[in-house]
Amino acid sequence: MRAWLRRVWETDPRKDPNAMLYIALGLFAVLFPVFANVTTGGNPNFLMSVAGDAGVYVLLALGLNVVVGFAGLLDLGYAAFFAIGAYTYAFIASEHLVVTPLHSAIHMPFWIVLIIALFVAASFGVVLGAPTLRLRGDYLAIVTLGFGEIVPRVFKNAATWTSGVNGISALDAPTLPVWLTGPWANTPVGLVTNVKIFDPSAYYVIMVVLLVICVVLIRNLQNSRMGRAWAAIREDEVAAAAMGVNTVQAKLLAFAIGAAFSGFAGTYYGAKLSLVSPENFGFSVSITVLVMVVLGGMGNIPGVMAGALLVYYVIFMLLPTLPDTVTSLVNSIGLSSLTQQSGDWPGIGEFVNRLKFLIFGLILIVVMLVRPQGLIPSRERQQELTKGTHDDTTIEDVNAEAGA
């Protein structure tokens, strides 16, 4: 521990910002409940719940980062595995199976389903990947896109098993066999058994623990033999194969591991929301997660996490509240006539509401144009871009430099 702290302290943050970023993210995770408590005057449940949902996306982004960032495989249907994870939990941790042809419910504990969903999602990753990972480049992206479109539709149409568009509701809450209770819950100190977890803060804690475990796992993976194989494949598949990397196996593993993390995310999501519905796993989820990964800085774990938090904040917090913010701003500077609807003018609030797509699109374009490598890229990638160690120098560049 001391050695690690020393190493972190002695790293130059200008060269490798990661150590500092991990500390910053950790501090953020610890301080966020305090912040939520203070800003809302002791009623942090809403903010904590939102933070838990944001954590789901961070988890998804971390998983997709293994596929896209490490192994360089473009996955456009990542939400499918997320859906599979969530439905796994819905099937084996609720009363739902009673109304299916099976006629008897299964109630597995949340903690065990986490592991089961991990394997279920990973197996689907293998099933999809095994025949298709031999494909080159973007063909894989298209296969995953197709898979991502198929899975939610199957859940939607196979109504005898999944209740169709209504989704499956009343999923079991996670329980702890034993838990300590005390004055903070207005009871005397003692042990309680079979505690159901409903409190958003508890979900927040579960998410933070999940994230810490996943970050440690993914970091170790990245530095393992397999991680180096992924990097080699990402940079040049032919060369990697020539060096003896079993490219199909390595790609399959990246695919399965990426899927496994979204199995995690799906289980947590199902348990927290207590509802799964096919509408929540569409193409837009896959795209959002991909945007988080690329915008944050592909292949760089803290970058991806920061990107996920930022994009989540913009999509789910900033943009939905923007119309109200602008309306009150306009009112406060004395232009309240703008808030009224008249003729074609829908009123400033509604106008800004309609601008949401446009603003989000602009943010994506501008950020990528300004920082094509992502907000917090990995060191390797940054150097590749600035120094051009790749075959990126083309005749066009040469012409441009020669002033031709």
Which residues lie near other proteins (CB under 8 A)?
68, 74, 131-132, 134-139, 141-143, 145-147, 149-150, 153-154, 156-157, 283, 287, 290-291, 294-295, 298, 354-365, 368-369, 372-373, 381, 385, 392, 394-397, 399
For residue 165, the 8-state DSSP code is G
Q: How far is the CB of 77 from other proteins (least distance, A)?
A: 9
**Can you read off the two tokens belonging to residue 403?**
């002033």
Length of the chain: 404
Residue among 25 and 294 whose Cβ is closer to other proteins: 294
User: At closest approach, how far in Å is the CB of 114 from other proteins?
Assistant: 29
Give 16 or 380: the residue with its C-beta nearer to other proteins: 380
Least distance to other proteins, CB of residue 110, Å: 30
CB nearer to other proteins: pick between 135 and 209: 135
C-alpha span between 374 and 369 (Å, rounded): 10
Distance in Å, CB of 82 to other proteins, minimum = 17
Q: Extract the runs of DSSP E, i.e. beta strands, from 23-154.
A: 93-94, 106-107
| Residue 199 or 235 having the CB closest to other proteins | 235
Residue 77 in tokens? 């249907």
Residue linked to tokens 């947590």: 268
With H, G, I as helix, E, B as strand and everything else as coil, classify residue 351.
helix
Measured from the CB atom, is 7 or 134 closer to other proteins?
134
CB of 394 to other proteins, least distance (A): 5
CB of 76 to other proteins, least distance (A): 8
Q: What angle do CA 173, 269, 251 make, to 5 degrees?
A: 130
Q: Look at residue 43 and give its three-state secondary structure.
A: coil
CA torsion sign, 265 to 72 to 245 to 79? positive
Please, which residue, 6 or 354, has the CB nearer to other proteins? 354
SS3 205: helix
